[in-house]
A and B are shown apart, each in its own frame.
Chain A
Amino acid sequence: MTQPFHCPAAATWAKRIKGNRQWSTVWCLILLLLPINSGFGADNILQGVFKALGVGARQAIVRPAKPVEIEVINQFSPMLNKILDVELYFVQKVCQPNAEQAARLRKFGAGEVVTLAKLMAENQNQENTVDPRQLLTKALGREIEKVCSAEAAKRYREEMSGRLDYKQAAAAGLMLANMDRDLFLSPDQAQKIEGELHQNWKPEWSRNLQGLMYPQYAPWPDAKLIQPHLTPEQSQLITHQNHGGIQFGWEADAGFNGWVNLSNFVSQLHDIEPSPQEQK
């Protein structure tokens, strides 16, 4: 026959309280009521127990609402319209469209703003998934091919390519300066590392130049990329670098809300129709 579980300590405890069950009941009630009386309801107590056990409270899973509400789209439209104004001003400078062509491009751009606003709203919880400026200028470029002369479209393509290249070179220069700060690169090392950066460029490095102004948060290339050009001591120093990351928001990524503030200029662009002699 199987012996039931026997615990000597429990048996001793049971003997002590034998005949005092009323007292034990009162004692249990006091202990149970104490936390409730101190402002911790049953729900809080259970949460406390979960917390003590390290399992935490259950969180509700919220699914994004679809379709995107118009209010959410309106959240993005004002800034997207500013970007459109700036880019149409640039089109005026580079392509010099006539009044009819300019009106067609503005109408097309307004439609793109709505499309982009929807896209932004759908992706607003995902960082760095949409670059509205790049998407808008690419779409404008395609429309310019249809609306303007071939020569004007070519000028626009070259200018846009030049703008991206310049921004990338600027970002590479900042990255190099950030490395140079502690690594004391020789001119030869600096030249080789700058070459590596350009050859292995990642678009996110130049997305927002503001982030590169903070060496502790600025993006760094993969150590394997630059280590062949460093001394062992320099290599050791970069393995101890602990870079975080910094986000300034999509408006800053798009070139606004930064340290360079030209809001007065931008606000008048919507109505600007530059005459040919004013164009540069």
Chain B
Amino acid sequence: MRFAQVHCAYPMPLLVIVSSFISLIGTAGMVSAQLVIQQADPNLIQIDEQFLFRNIFRTVSSESQAASKLQSVLNVQIDQTTKSLDLTPQQRAKLALAGDIDIADFMHELKAAQPAKTQLTQREWSELHAKMQPLQQKISAGLHRTGSLFQKVLSTNLTSEQLEVYQDLEKERRDRQYRGAVMATISMIDGQLPMTKGQREQLQNLLLTKANLLDSMPDDYLRVYAVLYALSTISEDDLKPVFNEKEWVAIRQLRIQGQSMRSMLIQRGVNLQ
């Protein structure tokens, strides 16, 4: 009989439990909906804690990953430099120390730029971008390249023979990067102004020999603008014979576009001669 009573009583508590469960889901939904409404403030810009790292390093999303990536790149740079210049252990140790200091300085700047909150006003957003830009430029140009302590130590601790070899290697690297960007830009022009093999060769030759060369190449889409700027520095007498009259009108338009890129390229840290 006792069991029978219990059997009869089961449906009611079960119903209470089920209805409580449904109620909880519904109430949670209502609460979360209210949260969404609160977050959707059009005056605030939502970012997450990884925002800064992702925007500067692209494939890195935390401080430790950033430091680890910079250290790995430094190790490779020191190894490659040691091999090509036959560095002594003392020279290598000095370079490693200088590279470590560059990384520490950069990480300090990075921490200072990290926003304290995840919802920013338009003004705070602009300020964050202003802080991010020089950091992005440093990474884009290579943390241990131009202007770094690593470079200073390198240039002051190498023998004259080592320094000559190093400068030759760097020039070769820069020329390789510039040639790739020149060919890519010519190929892009080719998509709308189709050139013959001869025209492409002449244009490439002029860009490699007659244009104002760049001391450093950006590593993103600015490469195209850098080459368009270089195009604008070639004399008209050299360039015009490559194209017919109709094509020359289009090339002149590109030269104007390239000239207008000058200030932007300088602002982004590209060294123009």
- Per-residue CB contact flags for chain A residues 252-280 toward chain B (1 = under 8 Å, else 0) read 00111011111111101000101000111
Whether A48 contacts B25 by the Cβ 8 Å rule is: yes
Given contacts A21-B12, A40-B26, contact A260 B80 (CB under 8 A): no
Is residue B64 contacting chain A, with contact meaning CB distance below 8 A?
A: no
Whether B187 contacts A177 by the Cβ 8 Å rule is: no
Hey, which chain B residues are within 8 Å of A176, CB to CB?
Answer: 176, 180
Hey, which chain B residues are within 8 Å of A31, CB to CB?
Answer: 16, 19-20, 22-23
Hey, which chain A residues are within 8 Å of B10, CB to CB?
Answer: 10, 14
- Per-residue CB contact flags for chain A residues 134-178 toward chain B (1 = under 8 Å, else 0) read 000000000000000000000000110011001101111110111
Is residue B220 contacting chain A, with contact meaning CB distance below 8 A?
A: yes
- Residue of B180, B185, B225 ringed by the most chain A CB atoms within 10 A: B180
Whether B77 contacts A258 by the Cβ 8 Å rule is: no
Hey, which chain A residues are within 8 Å of B180, CB to CB?
Answer: 170, 172-174, 176-177
Given contacts A35-B25, A44-B29, A262-B254, contact A186 B80 (CB under 8 A): yes
Is residue A110 contacting chain B, with contact meaning CB distance below 8 A?
A: no
**B115-169 interface (Cβ within 8 A of A):** 142, 169
B9, B13, B27, B69: the one contacting A35 at CB < 8 Å is B27
A215 to B222, alpha carbons, bound, how many Å?
12
* Residue of chain B at shortest CB distance from A180: B173
- Per-residue CB contact flags for chain B residues 227-248 toward chain A (1 = under 8 Å, else 0) read 0100000000000001111110
Q: Closest CB-CB distance, A237 to chain B, in whole Å?
A: 5
Hey, which chain A residues are within 8 Å of B9, CB to CB?
Answer: 10-11, 13-15, 17-18
Whether B220 contacts A214 by the Cβ 8 Å rule is: yes
Is residue B224 contacting chain A, with contact meaning CB distance below 8 A?
A: yes
**A32-50 interface (Cβ within 8 A of B):** 32, 34-36, 38-40, 44-45, 48-49
Q: Closest CB-CB distance, B8 to chain A, in whole Å?
A: 8
**B167-210 interface (Cβ within 8 A of A):** 169, 172-173, 176-177, 179-181, 183-194, 196-200
* Residue of chain A at shortest CB distance from B172: A187
Give chain B's interface residue range (CB within 8 Å of chain A).
35 or more
Query: Apart from A40-B26, A186-B84, A241-B59, what 15 extra A-B contacts exist at CB < 8 Å?
Result: A38-B26, A90-B194, A94-B196, A163-B190, A177-B177, A209-B188, A213-B221, A213-B223, A215-B58, A215-B220, A233-B72, A240-B72, A260-B185, A262-B189, A266-B192
10 residue pairs of the A-B complex, CB under 8 angstroms, read A7-B6, A27-B19, A28-B19, A170-B187, A177-B177, A210-B188, A214-B221, A256-B192, A261-B192, A280-B196
List residues of chain A with CB under 8 Å of any chain B CB.
4, 6-7, 10-11, 13-15, 17-18, 21, 24-25, 27-28, 31-32, 34-36, 38-40, 44-45, 48-49, 52, 86-87, 89-90, 93-94, 158-159, 162-163, 166-167, 169-174, 176-178, 180-187, 190, 209-210, 212-216, 231, 233-234, 236-237, 240-243, 254-256, 258-266, 268, 272, 274, 278-280
